[in-house]
A and B are shown apart, each in its own frame.
Chain A
Amino acid sequence: AQSVTQLDSQVPVFEEAPVELRCNYSSSVSVYLFWYVQYPNQGLQLLLKYLSGSTLVKGINGFEAEFNKSQTSFHLRKPSVHISDTAEYFCAVGPSGYSTLTFGKGTMLLVSP
């Protein structure tokens, strides 16, 4: 079984500041990793994914994440946030070769002027 821990339930940050949203996972098998964003009353939108290859993954809206196998982490970063980045962010893990995902509890990113 897999599990995902998002250490911060809320991250407040000022506009144009850098941000890091933390995600740690545990699994006994190799995994695929994903970050999704959810705006109020909407579905989840894929930001980026790690399946294999380069451990630094670039996604949409200027986000990137780095897969660290030894630390079992997949932290999400953005060098300069905008007000429009205010949303809930979910980290998810899926065992390689399977169809289902396990989601973390989410981190609410609050960007203020």
Chain B
Amino acid sequence: DAMVIQNPRYQVTQFGKPVTLSCSQTLNHNVMYWYQQKSSQAPKLLFHYYDKDFNNEADTPDNFQSRRPNTSFCFLDIRSPGLGDAAMYLCATSIGQGYEQYFGPGTRLTVT
């Protein structure tokens, strides 16, 4: 089945220790998104790629970076995680403008 895959599902990192979350898709979608979702809150868009074009939300902290080496993969790098970065991180894809987004199962990040 075509899908959006996120690894790992649960990630524990130490305060200040860089961490990378990964997302892959078999849908061959042009657009890939990264969201941060804290407990009982709406998903908050961090950035998205339209093909290779990177789009950063204005309020996304510099601590968060992303890479999309090819159509199928997208990575979220958190350079120096703080306790406030503990959250569920959701990856999503979309065919393009005006189409629904397909979400992965998420990676729950814990910062100790």
**A contacts, CB < 8 Å to B:** 32, 34, 36, 41-46, 49, 51, 90, 94, 96-101, 103-106
Take A41-B106, A43-B90, A43-B106 as given contacts and tell me if A100 and B48 are in contact as well, using a CB distance cutoff of 8 Å: yes
| Chain B interface main SS type | strand
**B contacts, CB < 8 Å to A:** 4, 6, 31, 33, 40-43, 45, 48, 50, 55, 88, 90, 92, 94, 96-98, 100-106, 108
B6 to chain A, nearest CB (A): 8
Measured in the bound complex, the distance between the Cα atoms of B60 and A92 in whole Å is 20
Measured in the bound complex, the distance between the Cα atoms of B48 and A99 in whole Å is 9
Q: Which residues of B contact A90 (CB under 8 A)?
A: 42-43
Let me know if A99 and B96 touch, CB within 8 A. Answer: yes
In the complex, 7 of the A-B residue pairs with CB atoms within 8 angstroms, ordered by the A residue number, are A32-B98, A43-B90, A43-B106, A90-B42, A99-B96, A101-B45, A103-B43
Let me know if A43 and B103 touch, CB within 8 A. Answer: yes
| Chain A interface main SS type | loop
Let me know if B108 and A41 touch, CB within 8 A. Answer: yes
Take A99-B31, A105-B41, A105-B42 as given contacts and tell me if A42 and B96 are in contact as well, using a CB distance cutoff of 8 Å: no
Let me know if A45 and B103 touch, CB within 8 A. Answer: yes
- Closest B residue to A46 by beta carbon equals B100
A45-B103, A106-B41 are known contacts; what are 17 more A-B pairs with Cβ within 8 Å?
A34-B100, A42-B105, A43-B92, A43-B103, A43-B106, A44-B43, A44-B92, A94-B98, A99-B55, A99-B96, A99-B97, A100-B48, A100-B55, A101-B101, A103-B42, A105-B42, A106-B42
Measured in the bound complex, the distance between the Cα atoms of B42 and A94 in whole Å is 15
Measured in the bound complex, the distance between the Cα atoms of B88 and A106 in whole Å is 15
Let me know if A42 and B106 touch, CB within 8 A. Answer: yes
Take A41-B108, A43-B90 as given contacts and tell me if A104 and B42 are in contact as well, using a CB distance cutoff of 8 Å: yes
Q: Which residues of B contact A36 (CB under 8 A)?
A: 103
Let me know if A97 and B43 touch, CB within 8 A. Answer: no
Let me know if B43 and A51 touch, CB within 8 A. Answer: no
